[in-house]
């Protein structure tokens, strides 16, 4: 149990939101407090060359969006904070879903003007299914937006969250004065354009007549709001938050560095320590002495000069140590890692030991798949992260015959990241890429050209859905293969996949071949 003090020091969380709610900007400001960066960069800016630390891929800098999960760690007030900044765009939601398996809690960012948006609903639904503790940060208070009470109603109705505000805005937009923090009982005044964070003025009671000296007539409005909050919303209880029953809400403006420090200060006090994970064989507690961890993400070309692949491993229990043999459960092999790395976005540093809650990057030559487990020897398999059946499909063709090797390698490595899937037609050998969003095709094409020096072009294919299929009835299986020969492909793992060109075709196959089981996620 020597890790106990290190476990209690750690906080590992994901930041999720709809695109453009300010999630990556919030991440930048959190890193600023940890001293991990000196200047916070705007996600999109024509005036300065600095771009967001977490958006380090070239295409992210150009488009001003996050297309891959970034992992960042820093120290703050004696705590080790691990942030997982996820893509907000719905075309990359699968990457976000997998990342949530590595997080112990979540901060949801909401745009004050737009309120709860569809992508946020999907992501929060996944969090609630897993009882992940959720905090909400309502952002962009320096702009006009929805009324604070209206936003709280939206959080309850659309996201199904039981909320309790722990800070409260005083005005909004051009009339924004600041925020009253109900957790610390202090008032912080907003100073437009200033990145310097003012310390809050203590007001243990809002009845203090000195309040008018800071916010004038807004003091009456704040007192009325506070009375309504006390009557309508439950009092904050840390245990209810940790069990996912209640979600504290904060207000601020990440771009102006306002309200972020209050959020972080409360977060390190109430957010959960690293929690255990359910394996197929048993529950694994973080306080166990024996190391275990799982791969939740693979990224090719973190450094294009070295063509390196990095497997991101969430440490669940024990201590991961450099140059130590660990068992790769799926391959049943011992592997040793001479240069495990910690991350500050794409900046890496070699580390000697890693504790539960931390994310370690392992150089990979093709040994890892998403969902793989590493242990000190025990045969356990953490409950996995399936690949979902894609919704969009295109044939991929080589646009430069002289670069066929580069194209094959690029497609092979990018598919291992899990953002898209590759199917090869059994009858003609043509390669089909399947994704859950159209933007992924553009990202794959861009990365193939700029990271691998290979060019590809796409051709349309009329497909409704892909389904993995298995059966113990060999006769039925062979009949299906014979009749559907033109619609069967092989996935990257060598498994057969039915390429259904319409909903009707899929339903007919399911009805006719009763003994064949069709699956729409890759775990079966």
26-81 confidence digits (pLDDT tens): 888 888 876 644 443 433 333 333 444 444 345 444 444 433 446 788 888 889 99
- How confident is the model at residue 53, as a pLDDT? 45
| 103 and 232 part of one domain | yes
| 353 and 442 part of one domain | no
**Whether the predicted pLDDT of 341 surpasses 70:** yes
| 148 and 203 part of one domain | yes
Which domain range does residue 338 map to? Answer: 277-375
303 found inside a domain? yes
Q: Residue 246 — very low, low, confident or very high, per pLDDT cuts 50/70/90?
A: very high
| 15 and 145 part of one domain | yes
How far is it, in rounded angstroms, from Cα 41 to Cα 53? 7
CA distances from 240 to 7, 161, 243, 276, 320 (A): 21, 12, 5, 19, 32
| 194 and 109 part of one domain | yes
Q: Residue 274 — very low, low, confident or very high, per pLDDT cuts 50/70/90?
A: very high
383 found inside a domain? no
Q: Residue 331 — very low, low, confident or very high, per pLDDT cuts 50/70/90?
A: very high
Q: Coil, strand, or helix at residue 481? A: helix
380 found inside a domain? no
| 231 and 292 part of one domain | no
- How confident is the model at residue 379, as a pLDDT? 93
- How confident is the model at residue 94, as a pLDDT? 64
Average pLDDT over every residue of 262-284: 92
How far is it, in rounded angstroms, from Cα 272 to Cα 79? 12
Lowest mean pLDDT among 24-28, 105-109, 512-516: 24-28
How far is it, in rounded angstroms, from Cα 254 to Cα 145? 15
Query: 248: part of which helix (H) or strand (E)?
Result: strand 247-251
The answer to whether residues 405 and 389 touch, using CB atoms and an 8 Å cutoff, is no
DSSP 352-386: SEE-TT-EEEEEESS---TT-EEESS----B---P
- How confident is the model at residue 50, as a pLDDT? 41
In CATH, what number is assigned to the domain containing residue 425?
3.30.70.3280
Beta strands (DSSP E) in 270-399 are 277-278, 283-284, 292-300, 309-317, 320-321, 325-328, 333-336, 341-344, 347-350, 353-354, 359-364, 373-375, 392-398
9 found inside a domain? yes
| 448 and 351 part of one domain | no
Average pLDDT over every residue of 464-485: 93
Lowest mean pLDDT among 39-43, 230-234, 466-470: 39-43
In CATH, what number is assigned to the domain containing residue 281?
3.40.50.300
398 found inside a domain? yes
Q: Coil, strand, or helix at residue 278? A: strand
Other Cβ atoms closer than 10 A to 74: 18
- How confident is the model at residue 475, as a pLDDT? 94
Average pLDDT over every residue of 124-147: 89
Q: Residue 516 — very low, low, confident or very high, per pLDDT cuts 50/70/90?
A: very high
| 230 and 289 part of one domain | no
Lowest mean pLDDT among 271-285, 310-324, 424-438, 482-496: 424-438
385 found inside a domain? no
- How confident is the model at residue 64, as a pLDDT? 42
pLDDT tens digits, one per residue of 155-201 = 999 999 999 999 999 888 888 888 888 898 888 888 776 555 556 67
| 399 and 439 part of one domain | yes
The total number of structural domains in the chain stands at: 3
Its pTM stands at 0.76
**Whether the predicted pLDDT of 390 surpasses 90:** no
Q: Residue 392 — very low, low, confident or very high, per pLDDT cuts 50/70/90?
A: confident
**Whether the predicted pLDDT of 347 surpasses 60:** no
- How confident is the model at residue 20, as a pLDDT? 78
Instruction: Select from 343, 375, 407 the last residue of a domain.
Output: 375
Q: Residue 365 — very low, low, confident or very high, per pLDDT cuts 50/70/90?
A: confident
List phi, psi (to 5°) of 196: -80, 130
Lowest mean pLDDT among 196-210, 233-247, 265-279: 196-210
Count how many Cα atoms sit within 13 Å of the Cα of residue 320 in the half-sphere of its side chain. Answer: 34
| 256 and 332 part of one domain | no
- How confident is the model at residue 522, as a pLDDT? 66
158 found inside a domain? yes
449 found inside a domain? yes
- How confident is the model at residue 69, as a pLDDT? 47
Instruction: Select from 328, 345, 375 the last residue of a domain.
Output: 375
Instruction: Select from 344, 375, 406 the last residue of a domain.
Output: 375
CA distances from 325 to 289, 322, 364, 401, 521 (A): 16, 9, 15, 42, 32
The two tokens of residue 107 are: 């901060």
Measured on CA atoms in the order 364, 367, 369, 373, is the torsion positive or negative? negative
| 35 and 168 part of one domain | yes
| 362 and 411 part of one domain | no
Query: Is the model more confident about 210 or about 427?
Result: 427
- How confident is the model at residue 66, as a pLDDT? 39
Lowest mean pLDDT among 64-68, 309-313, 452-456: 64-68
Average pLDDT, the chain: 83
CA distances from 452 to 301, 312, 403 (A): 9, 22, 9
Q: Quick one: what percent of the chain has pLDDT higher than 70?
A: 84
46 by Cβ neighbours in 10 Å (0-12 / 13-18 / 19+) ranks as: exposed
Which of 524, 311, 520, 310 shows the shortest CA–CA distance to 436?
A: 520
């Amino acid at each position: 149990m020597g890790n106990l003090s290190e476990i209690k020091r750690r906080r590992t969380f994901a930041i999720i939101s709809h695109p453009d709610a300010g999630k990556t900007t919030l991440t930048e400001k959190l890193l600023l407090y940890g001293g991990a960066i000196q200047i916070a960069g705007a996600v999109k800016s024509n005036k300065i060359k600095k771009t967001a630390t977490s958006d380090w891929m070239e295409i992210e800098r150009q488009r001003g969006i996050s297309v891959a999960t970034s992992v960042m760690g820093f120290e703050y007030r004696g705590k080790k904070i691990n942030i997982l900044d996820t893509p907000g765009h719905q075309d990359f939601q699968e990457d976000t879903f997998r990342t949530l398996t590595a997080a112990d809690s979540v901060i949801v960012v909401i745009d004050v003007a737009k309120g709860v948006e569809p992508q946020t609903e999907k992501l929060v639904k996944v969090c609630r299914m897993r009882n992940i503790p959720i905090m909400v940060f309502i952002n962009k208070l320096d702009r006009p937006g929805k009324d604070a009470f209206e936003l709280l109603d939206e959080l309850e109705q659309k996201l199904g969250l039981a909320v309790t505000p722990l800070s409260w805005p005083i005005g909004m937009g051009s009339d924004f004065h600041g925020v009253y923090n109900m957790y610390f009982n202090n008032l912080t005044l907003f100073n437009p354009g200033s990145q310097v964070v003012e310390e809050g003025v203590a007001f243990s009671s809002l009845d203090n007549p000195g309040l008018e000296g800071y916010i004038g007539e807004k003091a009456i409005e704040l007192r009325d709001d506070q009375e309504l909050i006390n009557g309508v919303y439950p009092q904050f209880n840390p245990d209810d938050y940790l069990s996912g029953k209640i979600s504290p809400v904060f207000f601020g403006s990440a771009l102006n560095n306002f309200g972020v420090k209050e959020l972080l200060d409360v977060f390190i006090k109430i957010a959960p320590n690293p929690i255990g994970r359910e394996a197929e064989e048993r529950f694994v507690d973080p306080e166990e002495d024996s190391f275990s961890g799982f791969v939740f993400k693979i990224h090719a070309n973190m450094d294009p000069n070295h063509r390196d692949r990095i497997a991101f491993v969430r440490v669940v229990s024990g201590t991961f140590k450099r140059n130590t043999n660990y068992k790769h459960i799926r391959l049943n092999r011992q592997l040793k890692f001479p240069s495990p790395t910690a991350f500050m976005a794409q900046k890496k540093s070699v580390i000697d030991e890693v504790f539960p809650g931390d994310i370690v990057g392992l150089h990979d030559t093709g040994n890892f798949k998403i969902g793989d487990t590493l242990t000190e020897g025990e045969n356990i398999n953490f409950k996995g992260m399936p690949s979902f059946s894609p919704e969009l499909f295109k044939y991929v063709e080589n646009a430069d015959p002289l670069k066929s090797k580069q194209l094959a390698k690029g497609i092979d490595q990018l598919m291992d990241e899990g953002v898209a899937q590759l199917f090869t037609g059994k009858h003609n050998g043509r390669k089909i890429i399947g994704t859950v969003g159209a933007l992924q095709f553009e990202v794959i094409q861009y990365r193939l050209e700029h990271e691998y020096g290979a060019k590809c072009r796409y051709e349309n294919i009329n497909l409704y859905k892909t389904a993995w299929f298995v059966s113990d009835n060999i006769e039925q299986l062979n009949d299906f293969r014979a009749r559907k020969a033109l619609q069967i492909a092989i996935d990257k793992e060598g498994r057969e996949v039915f390429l259904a060109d319409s909903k009707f075709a899929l339903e007919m196959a399911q009805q006719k071949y009763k003994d064949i089981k069709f699956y729409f996620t890759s775990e079966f």
